[in-house]
Amino acid sequence: MWSWWVVAGCLLVPAGCGYKTPPHPDLRRIPPLTGVRIQQREDYALISWIRPSADLRGQWGEVMGYWLRIDVYPVDCETCSPNTEQAFLPEGSDQVQAEFDRLFTLYRMRPTPGKWEFQISVRYSSGISDPSAKLPLGRLNQIPAHSVSWAWESPSNGSSRESTGRRNLLLSWQPRREQVLRSYHPAETRETQVRYFRANLYRRIEGNPWPLAPLNPKPLDIYHWTDAIPTPDPTKPSPRVEYALRLVDQFGGEGPLSPVVQVQPAEAARQ
């Protein structure tokens, strides 16, 4: 008698008794990239984002690359459709550079006036993520080049390069005026305020490409920076270290690299 109940249960419950329903597609949405930023660098847009974590890669699969969407809106027609471009940036290619936990890419902007908006998505082996929020970038600003100089710092507080194994290098530059702001008062007195460019410093070993991320974590509003140079092994060749500076405007855009200054670490042991 009990076998009839089993048969009836199989008829009433299609999912039971060895019958499998068709698999449902994974309708979960893949989250967008985090920490996405954009800024001008000369005639380029520099886009950066936080590298997808191991947990995300474990959940969604191998990172295949990144989709970049660019919308350019005409400045004289707010109702016009944008001119849209897309670019795929393969993971591990020269188009994507890594600096610590951040990834960077450069996109060449045309001099055509317009409102630029950027979005980026990550392509996993299981699918593509939601796009990032739209990142606007206005017209290209003309930011001048500048120059930087260097000198070895004298040991202080009784320390020596023999005990620390490093020698401090002082990089410095002159303030560069960005904008003069004037406010007028009823008494016809005039107050003048001056805004100065900030700066980003870059370092590389001679012959290597320049990194996309600067030495300083945020643009400098001071006019000097100290970098610690390891004292090299005198029995081994030591390549020269190169430094350059970019001025940064009030919107975070960067100008061209300054003339390069070269430092020979072996000189630190002789100073």
- pLDDT tens across 227-256, in order? 988 877 777 778 899 999 999 988 888 999
Is 28 exposed, middle or buried, given 0-12, 13-18 or 19+ CB atoms closer than 10 A?
exposed
Whether residue 73 is found in the same domain as residue 95: yes
Domain-terminating residue out of 92, 112, 137: 137
For 230-258, b/e burial (b = at least 16 CB within 10 A) is: ebbeeeeebeebbbbbbbbbeebbbbebb
The predicted structure's pLDDT at residue 235: 74
Residue 25, number of CB atoms within 10 A of its CB:
6
* Residues 167-179, mean pLDDT to the nearest whole number: 89
Half-sphere exposure of 144 (CA within 13 A, CB side): 9
**Residue 192 is part of which domain span?**
149-269
Whether residue 240 is found in the same domain as residue 182: yes
The predicted structure's pLDDT at residue 177: 86
214-218: Cβ within 8 A, 24+ apart = 214/246
The predicted structure's pLDDT at residue 7: 45
Distance of alpha carbon 169 from alpha carbon 150, whole angstroms: 7
Write phi, then psi, for 22 (nearest 5 degrees): -60, 140
248 or 6, higher pLDDT: 248
Whether residue 169 is found in the same domain as residue 87: no
Specify the pTM: 0.70
pLDDT in tens, 174-226: 999 887 665 555 555 555 677 889 999 999 999 999 998 999 999 999 999 99
Q: What is the CATH number of the domain that holds 110?
A: 2.60.40.10
Domain-terminating residue out of 137, 163, 192: 137
Bridge partner list, 13: none
pLDDT-based confidence at 117, cuts 50/70/90? very high
Judge whether 54 lies within some domain.
yes
The predicted structure's pLDDT at residue 218: 92
pLDDT more than 90, % of the chain: 49
